[in-house]
Structure 1
Amino acid sequence: MKRFERILIKLIVIQFIALVFAQFLIQQPSIQPYFSRVVQYEGVNKITITEWLETFSGQR
């Protein structure tokens, strides 16, 4: 049982490191356009906050 627990702990640590690394990559401005293609398809990547708020408030 100890061997299984050691393997499980190692997998959890590896998963945590991968999660932190992925979160770090998502925060990088130079990489964000590759992850958020939907924003480019919708055409809302160049609008200001007020235009964005008007878009959502007009849908009610």
Structure 2
Amino acid sequence: MVLFDANVLYPNALRDLLLRIAQSGFVQAKWTDEILDPMSSGTSGRTGPISTPASWTGRGS
């Protein structure tokens, strides 16, 4: 199991790569709503908010 932080979920290319690896079954990806909060609110220090697709299934508690 791998816990993805917002720092690796924010960049599109890196997020795509990591989620594809998880979808292939090599790792089980997890993250929390608290990890996604800075991404959706635009407070991650980057250039604005991004959407978090409903197809992401890694949310855990």
TM-score range (shorter-chain normalised) is under 0.3
Q: Relative contact order, CA 8 A, sep 6+: which one is greater?
A: 2
Higher share of residues assigned strand: 2
Structure number, greater radius of gyration: 1
Higher share of residues assigned helix: 1
Normalising by structure 1, report the TM-score.
Answer: 0.25
Normalising by structure 2, report the TM-score.
Answer: 0.25
